[in-house]
Structure formats: C-alpha cells, structure tokens
Amino acid sequence: MKILKAGIIGCGAFARAQHLPNCRENPNLQVVWACDIDIDKAQAVCQDFSIPNATDNPEKIFQDETVEVVILATSHHAHLELTAQAAAAGKHIMCEKPMALKLDDALEIVRIVQRHKIKFCVDHNRRCAPAMKALKKSWLDFRRNPQHQPWRFYEMERDQFRDEQNPVFLVRIQDESSSHRVIHKDPVYGGGAIIGESTHWYDLISWFFENDEPVNIQAWGSCIFNHGVNIEFRSGALGTLLFNTGGTFDYPKELYEITWNGALFRNECFLENQIYGIPGLEHSYYPLQHDVKH
Ligand SMILES: NC(=O)c1ccc[n+]([C@@H]2O[C@H](COP(=O)([O-])OP(=O)(O)OC[C@H]3O[C@@H](n4cnc5c(N)ncnc54)[C@H](O)[C@@H]3O)[C@@H](O)[C@H]2O)c1
C-alpha cells in the first residue's frame, strides 16, 4: 500500500500528544517535515518522532513534491494563511479546530479549498468516536421507524403540537479549568472558548441533525470559560450547550442527550450509550480509547 507523506506545521502540545504519536502508529503515513516558528520545537519533535526534516519555514514543506498532506496544528490564527499557501501548492490539509476565528476567514478557507480542489478536514473528533457513531445510528433508525415501549403513555385526544416533532440535543460539558492554557483565551490567537473549544459541539449537534441547518444562534456567559449556546435549526430542532470549567476530571467531562418522540439517547463521555423509551435496546459500553496502541 502507498505511504502518504505528510508535513506537520505547529509542533506544540497537541501535535506532540496526539498527531505525532498517531502518525507514528499509522503504517500508511510518514511525517517527513516538522515545522514551527520556534525551530527548537520543530527539531525536538524530529528527534522524538524520527522525522527527517525540521524547519521554521512552511514553504519548504509546500515546495516538497513528495508531500501530499499537511497537518495544521498551529495556534488557530495561522490557519487561513497556511491553508492558502498549502492549497496553492496542491497539498491536502488536516486542520485543527477551530477552522477559523472569524466567519469571513472560514468562508475564505472554503473558497480556497474549492478553487484548488484539495481535500480539507477539520479535526472535529467527537463525531469520530465509536460510541457517537453508534448513538447516531440508533437515533437515525428511530427517527425513520419509531418503536415505542408498550407501556408508553399516549395522549389520544389531541393532534401533536409542532414542538413534539422536533428533537432537542443537550450537551453538558464539565471541564477542569486547570487544563486550559492562556493562549486559547487570547482574543487574537485563541478566540476564546465559545469559538475555540465549543466548535466541537456545534459540529456534533449539526452532524446529528444532518440535512438541517442552524438559523438562529445565541450565546451567553463568558468567552473565557463558562458559557451557554442555543442553536435553533430550520426544522425547529434545538441544540443547547452548557459549558463550564468549574468541574473536575474526577467525573466524566462530557454528557450528551438527544430527546425526541418519547425516547432519550444518552452518551456519557464516549464510554457509555444509554437509550430509553425504545424496546429491546440495551445500554452499550465502549472502551476508553487511546488513539495510540501501547
Ligand atoms: N481537536 C482537539 O480535540 C484539540 C485538542 C487540543 C488542541 N487542539 C488544537 O490544536 C491547536 C494547537 O494547540 P496546542 O495546544 O498544541 O497549542 P500550542 O501553543 O502548544 O502549539 C501551537 C504551536 O504552533 C506554533 N505556531 C504558531 N503559529 C505558527 C505558524 N504561523 N507557523 C508555524 N508554527 C506556528 C507555536 O510556536 C506552537 O509551538 C489549536 O488550534 C487547538 O485548538 C485541538
């Protein structure tokens, strides 16, 4: 099988913790360039992950004709410029979230990707979790063919209200503030948590409500830590995110609940799916995932 050659730009904490160990474990991928504006960081990951070339100049990667894909793991503000350069050189791109800090920049990235006909992926990893894929499948199966518990209470004397046809997706994140670094709070480089962090959950809710589109979004609270976001979709479906960092990693960080038509689809931090209101569906459990095999 062909080995895909990649370059990584941004050799900070997440590149070290996730991208580079994952790439090292993938027999179909070889990282041949590591780039960081801080050359010491690029050289250090080259040493630690056996990458042949270090640079502080991304052009070196774009000019290397053997490189097909570029991983953008810089701080967020650099995505647009690096995407423009990489795409112009015909490289496919795996871009860290958030894709951009401003709507105009995000739209410009979409135009660049379309113009150069490259593949572009944003690392919204929640939708890739096996538990989430399974939960979505159960939800879509039920949406197409609702099966209720035999004991379900039916109000027979009225037509359904419109609200009863619309699903509601609740996301509750209890995070630990000590895990957040200052750079992600910086309004220029980090965009704050509402953009920089919660993009994961806008993506997840939109992925569940496929073929729908958000028409009304309201956020409240602080873009540093604690905030909430309401999303109303064209169909009338609702998404609500409650994000706080006053919690503890002693308890599962993420909780997801989708309710509709007498059923509840619940996921606890990608480890456990619980489905209520549907006959025959058991709870299911998913192993704690290490991206990298040890
Ligand atoms: N998908 C996820 O679940 C997830 C989790 C954590 C972080 N992230 C994302 O990963 C990205 C990096 O986060 P981090 O925690 O590693 O930050 P970090 O600050 O540790 O690393 C960023 C690195 O990029 C370098 N850099 C900045 N601008 C550059 C440029 N123009 N060219 C080359 N290098 C440049 C910096 O010197 C630094 O070494 C962020 O966008 C963050 O949102 C994603």
- CA 72 to chain centroid: 14
Q: What tens digit of pLDDT does each residue of 52-80 get?
A: 999 999 999 999 999 999 999 999 999 99
Residue nearest to atom 9 of ligand 1 (CA): 96
pLDDT grade for 292, boundaries at 50, 70 and 90 = low
Taking CB atoms and a 6 Å cutoff, what residues make up the pocket around ligand 1? 9-15, 35-38, 41, 73-76, 78, 96-97, 123, 125, 183, 196
Cβ atoms of 23 and 11 closer than 8 Å: no
CA of 231 to the centre of ligand 1 (A): 28
CA of 110 to the centre of ligand 1 (A): 21
Q: Please, which residues have CB within 8 angstroms of residue 227's CB and are 6 or more apart in sequence? A: 193, 194, 198, 219, 220, 221, 243
Comparing 131-135, 191-195, 244-248, 289-293, which segment has the lowest mean pLDDT?
Answer: 289-293
Residue 173 has pLDDT above 60, yes or no: yes
Residue 166, classed as helix, strand or coil, is coil
**In the 8-state DSSP scheme, what is residue 205?**
H
Residue 98, preceding bond cis, omega within 30 degrees?
A: yes
Q: Which atom of ligand 1 is nearest to the CA of 79?
A: 31
pLDDT for 128 equals: 93
With the most atoms of ligand 1 within 8 angstroms of its CB, the residue from 56, 96, 105 to mutate is: 96
pLDDT grade for 294, boundaries at 50, 70 and 90 = very low
Domains and CATH numbers, the chain: 4-123 (3.40.50.720), 126-285 (3.30.360.10)
Comparing 101-105, 130-134, 232-236, 278-282, which segment has the lowest mean pLDDT?
Answer: 278-282
Comparing 111-115, 159-163, 259-263, 287-291, which segment has the lowest mean pLDDT?
Answer: 287-291
The two structure tokens encoding residue 262:
């007498």
Q: How confident is the model over 243-262, as a mean pLDDT? A: 95
